Structures are given as structure tokens and as C-alpha cells.
């Protein structure tokens, strides 16, 4: 089995860094560079680049520059997604971002890891596990999602959090490491009478 096929599987794996297809990483880096040089008004050009870069691109997905990823082909956006500035996705495994997802500035989504034992780390042995972000999730600014986690539907991950375990659906979670604080309830609704109407 080729390394690229292993990387596309939705399960954890270990490999040597030399096994990773560097030529595909170069393609992704080039497309990210092109994307990050585009004008804010270049909607069609940006869509064309994302369609070429990402494994699954939905036209209702929007990414603010600067944006960086390892390969692109392992990033799958199923519907409306908004990714704010300076997001990094290390997609050595599949990253599934469903729909209705908001990702704040400075977020790092890292499937990739290193061997814990020093000798193996210096040998270039790495790990990778997929990440899933379900419907209607909000990831706060500067949060980090580590390999193997799933963020449950309609949950919120607080700014600056480090997520190392699955987050269930319908909760607010935050901290280092990220832990569930409470459920999202109707008490969290904003009173429409308080909204500004210009």
C-alpha cells in the first residue's frame, strides 16, 4: 500500500518522516502561497485554488488568509465553513469539517505528532490520527485540536484551549487540557430586543 493511501485512511498510523510524499506537500505549499497572495475581492480565484487544494471543497466554505496546510487532499469541508485568519491544518490524516462550522483566528488543527521516545523521535518516526469537527461547531481563537479528536455537534471550544480528547455534542468546553464546562441551553439565547438595528 502506498503512503498516500495510508494517509487517507480514517485511522491512526505511524511512519517515518521520509515516507511522507514531499512532492505533494510542495504542491500544497505552493497553492497556499498563491491563495495567501490573492486580493480580498478575488472570490473566483480563491474558489478555484481551494477547489484544487482541498480533498472536498464546498463553494459555501470561506477561508481568510493566511492559511496553511500540509497536503490539502485530506481536508474535507461538507458545507458552510468559515475559517478566520492564520489557521494551520496539519492534515497528515483526514480532517472532516462538516457544516455550519466557525473556526476562529490562529487555530491549529494537528493530526500529526512525533514519537514520544527520544531515540525514535530523532529517527524521524511520527504519528497521525484523523480529526472530525461535526455540524455547527465553533472553535475559538488560538485553540489547538490534537490528532484523534472529534468535536461533537453544536459544541463550542473556548479560545486558547488544547483539545486532546473527544468533546461531546451540545456543550461549552475550554481549558488546557480542554474539559467540558457545561451544556448549551436556551438561557444562552441573545434577546433579539438587544440587537442593534441600523
Supply the pLDDT for residue 197.
Answer: 77
Task: For residue 164, give every residue at least 6 positions away whose Cβ sits within 8 Å of its Cβ, in sequence order, or none.
Answer: 146, 149, 177, 178
Q: Is 192 a catalytic residue?
A: no
Catalytic annotation, pick one of 43, 76, 85, 114: 114
CA 177 – CA 25 distance, rounded (Å): 30
CA 98 – CA 104 distance, rounded (Å): 16
Task: For residue 25, give every residue at least 6 positions away whose Cβ sits within 8 Å of its Cβ, in sequence order, or none.
Answer: 70, 71
Question: Could you tell me if 128 and 112 are in contact, meaning their C-beta atoms sit under 8 angstroms apart?
Answer: yes
Concatenate the DSSP letters of all residues of 110-158 into one string: E-EEE-SSHHHHHHTEEEE--EEE-TT-EEPTT-EEETT-EEPTT-EE-
Question: How many other CB atoms are there within 10 angstroms of residue 117's CB atom?
Answer: 10
Supply the pLDDT for residue 18.
Answer: 86
Per-residue pLDDT of the chain (198 residues; tens, 9 = 90+): 799 999 999 999 999 988 989 999 999 999 999 999 999 999 999 999 999 999 999 999 999 999 999 999 999 999 999 999 999 999 999 999 999 999 999 999 999 999 999 999 999 999 999 999 999 999 999 999 999 999 999 999 999 999 999 999 999 999 999 999 999 999 999 988 777 877
Q: Is 128 exposed, middle or buried (0-12, 13-18, 19+ CB in 10 A)?
A: buried
Q: Which of 102, 101, 108 is nearest to 87 (CA)?
A: 108
Residues 161-190: b if buried by 16+ CB within 10 A, e if exposed: bbbeeebebebbbbeeebeeeeeeeeeeee
R_g of the chain computed on alpha carbons: 18
Amino acid at each position: 500500500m502506498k503512503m498516500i493511501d495510508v494517509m487517507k485512511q480514517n485511522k491512526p498510523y505511524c511512519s517515518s518522516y521520509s515516507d511522507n510524499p514531499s512532492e505533494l506537500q510542495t504542491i500544497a505549499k505552493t497553492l497556499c502561497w498563491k491563495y495567501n497572495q490573492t486580493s480580498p475581492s478575488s472570490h473566483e480565484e480563491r474558489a478555484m485554488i481551494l477547489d484544487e487544494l482541498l480533498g472536498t471543497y464546498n463553494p459555501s466554505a470561506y477561508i481568510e488568509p493566511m492559511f496553511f496546510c500540509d497536503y490539502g487532499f485530506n481536508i474535507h469541508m461538507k458545507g458552510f465553513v468559515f475559517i478566520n485568519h492564520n489557521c494551520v491544518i496539519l492534515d497528515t490524516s483526514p480532517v472532516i469539517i462538516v457544516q455550519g462550522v466557525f473556526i476562529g483566528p490562529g487555530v491549529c488543527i494537528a493530526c500529526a505528532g512525533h514519537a514520544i521516545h527520544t531515540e525514535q523521535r530523532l529517527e524521524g518516526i511520527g504519528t497521525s490520527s484523523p480529526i472530525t469537527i461535526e455540524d455547527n461547531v465553533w472553535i475559538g481563537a488560538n485553540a489547538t485540536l490534537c490528532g484523534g479528536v472529534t468535536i461533537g455537534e453544536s459544541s463550542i471550544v473556548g479560545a486558547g484551549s488544547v483539545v486532546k480528547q473527544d468533546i461531546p455534542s451540545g456543550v461549552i468546553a475550554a481549558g488546557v487540557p480542554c474539559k467540558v464546562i457545561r451544556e448549551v441551553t436556551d438561557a444562552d439565547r441573545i434577546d433579539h430586543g438587544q440587537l442593534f438595528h441600523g
